[in-house]
Chain A
């Protein structure tokens, strides 16, 4: 029993650290896109994606603010696709139309609720950790 306990504990720890190992370098790289003129929103968003599966991020963007959205996966930029929709599902922006840009600025005239959908570019990755970071400036 004790041996099973130890073995399974190592398994659990190993899997936890695997997730950390997978996401940490991506997060570190993604942070570079929230440059010094942006204030980070104080939150860290990550999802483990496979194939065409999608993560959905719900945000309120306040009027009079410029937001920087950074979306990263894998070991280089351009692996994560993201679309920004308003609450009526009108497409406001897609990085697919802009060479899979790893970050983009959204200048918001009036407050609105948006949904950011993120998925891996199937031509570049089959699975991986998706990290999204948000910063803003006045």
Chain B
């Protein structure tokens, strides 16, 4: 960890520790509290510099939506989450995971050109982002820009990506890494659900491969959610993700390195290594059941 990041990250904890040590009518139990507050600086550090200096990226739900379409699977209107679910969310975790779910659904309906559903999903996202106080990431102007780009799905996916990145930046700037990780978790679980929703997925080699390729992403997600789970709010979610992780670990994957080729004039490198994934229909069914369990937990 860098000195500057340590300094910035520790500042709030230091302030709390100093306040606690000021006395101010504090009792013996307050002193115990002071110790707790001091220990609390550890997750704050990870908020700024990542876990042991590591950062984890979760693939955009738009990539899953594109993969579903490119694999030739049919669009299924009924597989997205009910849009009234967001209204009943009262905790920040429930709101954040549902925001991630709707974000993944919006990519899915966008890629499949379901214009009406795009707008209603965006409205649901706007309501949830207001509850989560995500600044201006999903405001009325975004809605207008969406309406102005309805015929261009890549523009819509780009607008959505910019809005979610803006929300993520806002959350991380305001030390709400836990909320950021819940949004990502909701989005990833919903993407898995959408990839598995069509029974034809289990027979589609492209989709089987894409599902198997999520091993490392799931590890990353468990790390992300786990590192900010200081109050145990995400225990059930983490348990579900870890259970799913055991199923993904059983899939046979192989990687073969091949040298990459760089074209400096085009500022492009061609990465030629190859990964293969082998999964049986039973293994895919097992994964689908575990994804459904986690999704039910989020939608409950």
Which residues of chain A have a CB within 8 Å of any CB of chain B?
A: 1, 4-5, 8-9, 11-12, 15-16, 18-20, 23-24, 27, 36, 38-51, 53-66, 84, 86-88, 90, 92-93, 97-98, 101, 103-113, 127, 132-138
Q: How far is the CA of A136 from the CA of B187 in the complex (A)?
A: 17
Q: With A12-B12, A39-B60 in contact, is A103–B275 under 8 Å at CB?
A: no
Cβ A92 vs Cβ B271 within 8 A: yes
> A133 to chain B: which residues have CB within 8 Å?
165
- Cβ 8 A contact of B2, one of A16, A53, A112: A53
The answer to the question of B54 belonging to the interface, with a C-beta cut-off of 8 Å to chain A, is yes
Encode contact with A along B102-122: 1 for CB under 8 Å, 0 otherwise.
010000000000000000000
Q: With A20-B173, A44-B168, A50-B3 in contact, is A59–B57 under 8 Å at CB?
A: yes
The answer to the question of B220 belonging to the interface, with a C-beta cut-off of 8 Å to chain A, is yes
- The 6 residue pairs across chains A and B that have the minimum distance between CB atoms: A42-B164, A48-B5, A40-B161, A50-B2, A44-B169, A15-B11
Question: Which residues 254-289 of B sit at the A interface, judged by CB distance below 8 A?
Answer: 255, 257, 259-260, 262, 264, 266-275
29 contacts between A and B (CB under 8 A): A1-B22, A4-B22, A11-B11, A12-B15, A27-B169, A38-B158, A41-B165, A44-B165, A44-B168, A46-B172, A47-B53, A48-B2, A50-B2, A53-B53, A55-B53, A56-B50, A58-B54, A58-B220, A60-B57, A60-B59, A60-B214, A84-B269, A88-B257, A92-B260, A106-B271, A107-B271, A108-B271, A111-B209, A138-B70
The chain B residue with its CB closest to the CB of A66 is B268
The answer to the question of B34 belonging to the interface, with a C-beta cut-off of 8 Å to chain A, is no
Cβ A42 vs Cβ B103 within 8 A: yes
Q: How many residues of B contact A (CB 8 A)?
A: 71
Cβ A9 vs Cβ B15 within 8 A: yes
Q: How far is the CA of A54 from the CA of B8 in the complex (A)?
A: 17
Cβ A16 vs Cβ B161 within 8 A: no
Encode contact with A along B45-62: 1 for CB under 8 Å, 0 otherwise.
000111001111111111
Q: How far is the CA of A62 from the CA of B274 in the complex (A)?
A: 11
> A106 to chain B: which residues have CB within 8 Å?
268-269, 271
Cβ B8 vs Cβ A18 within 8 A: yes
> B24 to chain A: which residues have CB within 8 Å?
1
- Cβ 8 A contact of A136, one of B2, B60, B169: B60
Encode contact with A along B230-274: 1 for CB under 8 Å, 0 otherwise.
000000000000000000000000010101101010111111111
Cβ A42 vs Cβ B168 within 8 A: yes
Cβ A16 vs Cβ B175 within 8 A: yes
The answer to the question of B202 belonging to the interface, with a C-beta cut-off of 8 Å to chain A, is no
